[in-house]
Amino acid sequence: MSNAHSRPKLAVWKFASCDGCQLSLLDCEDELLAVADAIEIANFPEASRAVVAGPYDLSLVEGSITTPHDAERIRDIRAQSKTLVTIGACATAGGIQALRNGADVEAFTRIVYAHPEYIATLSESSPIADHVAVDFELRGCPISKTQLVEVISAFLAGRRPVTPAHSVCVECKLRGTVCVMVAHGTPCLGPATHAGCGAICPAYDRGCYGCFGPMETPNAAALDARWGELGADRARRERVYRTFNAGAPAFRDAAARIAAAEDEKS
Amino acid sequence: MSTRTIKVDYLARVEGEGAMHVTVEDGRVSTCELRIFEPPRFFEAFLRGREYAEAPDITARICGICPIAYQMSAVHAMEDIFGVRVDGPLRALRRLIYCGEWIESHVLHVYMLHAPDFLGYESAIEMARDHPDLVRQGLRLKKIGNDLMTLVGGREIHPINVRVGGFYRLPRRRELETLRADLEWGVQAAEATVRWASGLDFPDFEQDYEFVALRHPHEYPFNEGRLVSSAGLDIPIEAFDAHFEEIHVPHSTSLHARLRARGNYFVGPLARYNLNFDRLSPRVQAAAREAGLAGGCRNPFQSIVVRALEVLHAYEEALAIIDTYVEPDAPVVDYQVRAGTGHGCTEAPRGICYHRYTVGADGLISDAVIVPPTSQNQPTIENDLRHFVERHLEEDDERLQWLCEQAIRNYDPCISCSCHFLDLTVERR
């Protein structure tokens, strides 16, 4: 075992989330013990009750900011972290929690809770980068564990992680999957969606639903027109952008444009 | 007056954010709270106005550890509305993917979250230094569960292949066959896990619990059955609301569930096991007898043994499903969307997960109610803590705190799930 003093210190932090992205680290069954050998897992409550005090060399942050307390907590974490990487759609785009943005959160609280007065929450779910500087963002709902291992390896090697920003379409071609939209007329968000999952949905005979968020330069307008031709109604076309990456600017704008176009017609 | 506080501000080796706070005044526990500060997550509100077909994908995001539980409860509730039944090989495939989730979730808990308590380590990674073979066995057992999820569901976290009426794509028989050798190894390794776990030291601790679980005429329950309890409850899942209620307490963003007639109850592996022992295979029953639990198990500290027994069950069941799998003609059964209200209740790794939806003729959801397992167990966990602390006041604070954490981890609480939803403080006055 390497010298404990020379190993970089890793911390894993959770905000509003499902735990799935940090679970991805524990799901690296083949790599976990090697990772634990190369880095000191200094603060990872889901895995260990031992807490080593900061500062930390690498912080992985899961989840979005939805409470006043969390908005404070992330600043403190940033101050203790040499490198801060956000993992997953919640941390990078506000996640599914961003469906509250622009909605009546008080009404939401009344739907779920009998005593809304016990609940402290913000009206918006925001990505970590809205609050503090972020060194690298890893996309996905959930993240790909292969990409997570790449991020940790790149960090250890002192290089930039390789996570292509092209669309899911490229991954389908690499995988040899026949295009579900061209061949079967199945509406697919793949052309506008950031690669990383390995194009799972089309390989399972369904259209991509955008869980990795927007690719670097999506042409959502052209894609939306095609969805319309394939028979997807306006509400469905708007909803697909308003799901797990509703707060990502390109998807947020696409949904708004679809809603506005319909208002003009009526 | 003497006061003593035992607390943990951020509970470790549980899923999600919670704390514990116990106050002891003159040798009696005066307050005992499992505080849940995981931010509120509003899923029931988000579901309003979404299409019925989106429910399995959206509700999966409630929990990264048990997404299949949410997907299964959601699709069964929708199928209840549309009056459609999914049978034969499609039904078997649903059980198969659920086997994968039980294995992945239970093995994570047995080896990585709970075992370090019994062996005196802060984490499984620290434990691996002294017990490398044990930890490697756990990692391989867990990985096979994830492989099963990935093959049938597309990926292990938030699988993409489950839909109302069946699946998007059917696995081929030869694809399932690739898992056989691993599953056969898993049956042996799960038996070894039961033997190892049954040899651990358990605090002597039993309460008068009411266990609640599904019960099916022939099977150990996954997706279907009546809701039964150790106090004689026996109802169809549609009657959930008439018998259970959710209440909102100040120290938790998770709602607490109670039986309207009798209050606290207990869901999860112990409940399933005690109410369905006769539905386990001869091999699992034999392993249970060898572990000394054939007469049932009322000690939550021994839940690690029961989880191991359920892992064995899931491995055996997965093998049996693969043996008899015949590829169906279509991945999904036909159904017509119609307006109505439907119920789904399935056995998540941590216990029953109940969903109710109302859908309009346009297929849009107008109302959703989701009751996850941990919010049902939360009052029982608090009650356990109260009694456990009173019996162990002689322990010093550090030791008592660890034991209390362990008492909470007995339930494998999934706090992310329950927020709609932990931190530990024991205060001694």
Report long-range pairs for B297-300 (Cβ below 8 Å, ≥24 apart).
B297/B270, B297/B273, B298/B206, B298/B207, B298/B209, B298/B270, B298/B274, B299/B202, B299/B203, B299/B204, B299/B205, B299/B206, B300/B205, B300/B270, B300/B384, B300/B407, B300/B410, B300/B411
Task: Kindly list the residues from chain A whose CB atom is less than 8 angstroms away from the CB atom of residue B61.
Answer: 18, 20, 95-96, 141, 244
Three-class HEC string of chain A: CCCCCCCCEEEEEECECCCHHHHHHHCCCCCHHHHHHHCEEEECCCCECCCCCCCEEEEEEECEECCHHHHHHHHHHHHHEEEEEEECHHHHHCCHHHHHCCCCHHHHHHHHCCCHHHCCCCCCCECHHHCCCCCEEECCCCCCHHHHHHHHHHHHHCCCCCCCCCEHHHHHHHHCCCCHHHHHCCCCCHHHEECCCCCHHHHCCCCCCCCCCECCCCCHHHHHHHHHHCCCCHHHHHHHHCCCCCCCHHHHHHHHHHHHHHHHHC
Residue A144's pLDDT band (boundaries 50, 70, 90)? very high
Residue B122 and residue A49: Cβ atoms within 8 Å?
yes
Residue type at B43?
F
Residues 254-283 of B with CB under 8 A from A: 255
pLDDT at residue A184 above 90? Answer: yes
Write down all domains in chain B, each with its CATH number in brackets. 41-379 (1.10.645.10)
Domain-by-domain residue ranges, chain A? 9-157, 168-265
**Residue B286: pLDDT above 70?**
yes
Residue B425: pLDDT band with limits 50, 70, 90: very low
Token couple for A164: 């292509």
Q: What local confidence, expressed as pLDDT, does residue B264 receive? A: 95
Q: What is the pTM of this model?
A: 0.95
Report the sign of the C-alpha dihedral through residues B178, B182, B185, B191, in that order.
negative
pLDDT (mean) for A251-255: 96
Residue of A nearest to B127 (CA): A48
Find the residue in B nearest to A246 (Cα).
B46
Compare B18 and B305 and report the one with higher pLDDT. Answer: B305
Bigger pLDDT: B109 vs B31: B109
Shortest alpha-carbon distance between residue A110 and chain B (Å): 9
pLDDT over 60 (residue B103): yes
Chain B residue with minimal CA distance to A69?
Answer: B39
Chain-chain contact of A200 with B122 (C-beta, under 8 angstroms): no
* Start-to-end Cα distance in chain B: 6
Among B residues 90-149, those touching chain A with beta carbons less than 8 Å apart:
104, 108, 112, 122-126, 128-129, 132, 135-136, 139-140, 142-143, 146
Task: Answer whether B155 sits within 8 Å of A21, measured CB to CB.
Answer: no
Q: What is the mean pLDDT of residues B240-258?
A: 84
Are the beta carbons of B157 and A203 separated by less than 8 Å? Answer: no
Chosen for mutation from A46, A104, A239 (greatest number of chain B CBs closer than 10 Å) is A46
Q: What residues of chain B lie within 8 A of the CB of A24, using their CB? A: 157
Q: Residue B420: what pLDDT?
A: 39
pLDDT at A2: 44
Q: Mean pLDDT, to the nearest integer, of B329-347? A: 98
CA-based nearest residue to B205, from B10, B392, B342: B392
Averaged over B238-262, what is the pLDDT? 87
Q: Which of residues 322-381 of B touch A (CB under 8 A)?
A: 331
Put simply, whether A229 touches B (Cβ < 8 Å) is no
Q: Which residue has the tokens 């959502």?
A: A220
- Please check whether residue B311 is in contact with residue B137, taking contact to mean a CB–CB distance below 8 angstroms: no
Confidence band (pLDDT; 50, 70, 90) for B423? Answer: very low
The CA distance from B349 to B314, in Å, is 11
- Residue A164: what are its φ and ψ, rounded to 5°? -55, 140
Interchain pair A48, B57: CB under 8 A: no
CATH domain A9-157 topology: Rossmann fold (3.40.50)
Q: Are B42 and B128 in contact (CB under 8 A)?
A: no
Q: How far apart are CA A81 and CA B307, in angstroms?
A: 38
Name the nearest CA neighbour of B142 among B97, B116, B110, B119.
B110
Mean pLDDT of B240-268: 88
| pLDDT computed for residue B16 by the predictor | 77
pLDDT tens digits for range B144-156:
999 999 999 999 9
pLDDT confidence of residue B421: 31
Residue of B nearest to A64 (CA): B39
CB spacing of A243 vs B62 below 8 angstroms: no
Range with the poorest average pLDDT among A53-62, A237-246, B378-387: B378-387
Give the CA count within 13 Å in the CB-facing half-sphere of A192.
30
